[in-house]
Amino acid sequence: MTPEKLLTALNDIDSGAIREAHTEKAPARKANRRLSFLIAAIIAVTALTATAFAAEEITGWFREYFVRNTENDLTPGQIEFIEENEQIIEETQDANGFQLELKSVLADSSTIYITLGITAPKALPFDEDNRLAFDPFDFYDQNLKTPQALSAWVLDDGDTSDHTNDLILVYTLGSWNESDQWTLRIKELKLWIHDAAYEQNLLDTKYAGQENIMLTDEEAALAYRFETLTEGPWEFSIDLSKVDSAELEMVTDPFTTQSCCGFKADGTLVNEEVTINSIIIRPLSATIQTELTESRAAPDFTPTMDDQIFVVMKDSSRIQLHPDWAMSGKQHFTTESPIILDEVDYVLLADGTKLMAP
C-alpha cells in the first residue's frame, strides 16, 4: 500500500459518544479540545500517514517508526535497545483468502508494539473515511487479562499494491507481570466507516448555526458504523518472558501539584491539588501514580495540547510522553521514542515541575 493510503485501528465506539462529540459552534465543524479527548479515550486511536519502509528490512520498521514520531535520528543507545529487544516472529496464517503475518514484537513491561502484515485477495478499501478496526479484547494473556488501550499506525510495505498493508498495533496495560504468555486472536477484520458527506449535510442543514450539536441515535448510526470485511480467526501466540522489565522511579518523596479533574460547561478546565506518589519511567512507557480522592478517580496531567510532559536526557534532548489511559489514581503514557534509562536527566511536568533522576 502506498503512503497516500491511511489506515486507523479503532476500538468499539457507541452512538452516544459520537452524538456528544458534536459540540463546537458552527461553522467550525470541529469538536473542542475537551471532546477531542473524550473521543480519544473512547476509540483509542492515532492516525498517521505512512513513510517509506523497506519491506525486507524487518528490524528497520521500529527504527523508522520512532524516527517519524520525533522527526529526529535515533541515538546509538536507542538503536541498540531496539536491536536487542525486538522479537522477529514472521508467522503467517490464512482465513477466507486474507493472510495475516505477525512479523515482530517490541515491548517493555507495560506496552507492546506488534508489526502486522495484511495481504488480501482484493484491493483493501482503506482511506480517511474507511478504516480498519481492531477490538482491544483480541489481545489477552493466559488469565484473560486484556489491554487498557489500543492504537495503530500505518507502515508503508514498500510496494504499490492495494492488496497489502503493514501496520503497528500498540497495546498498553498497567502491567503484565502476572503472565508471560499472550495471545493475539483477531476474530474478524472490520471497517469503521465515517459517512462524512451525510454528517456534513446534517451540520449544514438541520444543525446549521447551532452550538451544542448532538446527533440522534439514528443519525449517529448512519454517520459512523462498522462493517465486516471478512471473518477470521487469525491466532498468534506471543512470548513476553524476555521483555525488558527495567524501570526508573523518579519520585523519592511524595509531593503535591495540580491535576485536571473535569471541565465546566463552557469547556474551562477544573483543577485540583493532587499528591504524586510515584513516576515510573520505562523504555517505552511511563506511569504517574497519585493518591485517590473521593472527587477524582484518575488524574489528567495533559488535558490540552499545551499540557506536555517530557523526559529530558543528559544530552538535553527531550522525549515526549503521550497519554493513553487513566484509572485508579494512575495515568499511563507511551514514549514517542525509546528511553535509555541511564541517560535520563530529569522529568519535566506540564506545570514546570522538574524531577531529577536519582
For the chain, the structural domain boundaries read 15-239, 248-356
Q: What is the DSSP letter of 283?
A: S
Q: Please give the pLDDT value at position 312.
A: 97
- C-beta atoms surrounding 26 within 10 Å: 14
Q: How far apart are CA 316 and CA 342, in angstroms?
A: 14
Q: How far apart are CA 341 and CA 306, in angstroms?
A: 26
Q: Please give the pLDDT value at position 87.
A: 92
Q: How far apart are CA 23 and CA 17, in angstroms?
A: 12
Q: How far apart are CA 102 and CA 83, in angstroms?
A: 18
Q: Which CATH architecture has domain 15-239?
A: Sandwich (2.60)
Q: Please give the pLDDT value at position 354.
A: 94
Q: Hey, what's the cell of 51? A: 513513510
Strand partners, 170: 113, 151
Contact status, residue 133 vs residue 190, Cβ threshold 8 Å: yes
Q: How far apart are CA 327 and CA 289, in angstroms?
A: 10
CA distances from 289 to 40, 177, 278, 310, 327 (A): 21, 18, 5, 17, 10
| 153 closest CA partner among 171, 178, 177, 138 | 171
Contact status, residue 199 vs residue 223, Cβ threshold 8 Å: yes
Burial of 152 (C-beta count, 10 Å sphere; 0-12/13-18/19+):
buried
Q: How far apart are CA 169 and CA 115, in angstroms?
A: 6
Q: How far apart are CA 28 and CA 6, in angstroms?
A: 24
* pLDDT tens, residue order, the chain (358 aa): 333 323 333 333 343 443 344 433 323 333 333 333 333 333 333 332 222 333 334 456 788 788 877 888 899 999 999 999 999 999 999 999 999 999 999 999 889 999 998 999 988 776 767 777 777 788 888 777 787 778 776 666 666 778 888 888 888 876 555 678 889 999 998 888 889 899 999 999 999 988 778 889 899 889 988 888 899 999 999 998 888 889 999 999 999 887 777 677 766 777 778 899 999 999 999 999 988 766 666 778 887 777 899 999 999 999 999 998 888 888 899 999 999 999 999 999 988 999 999 9
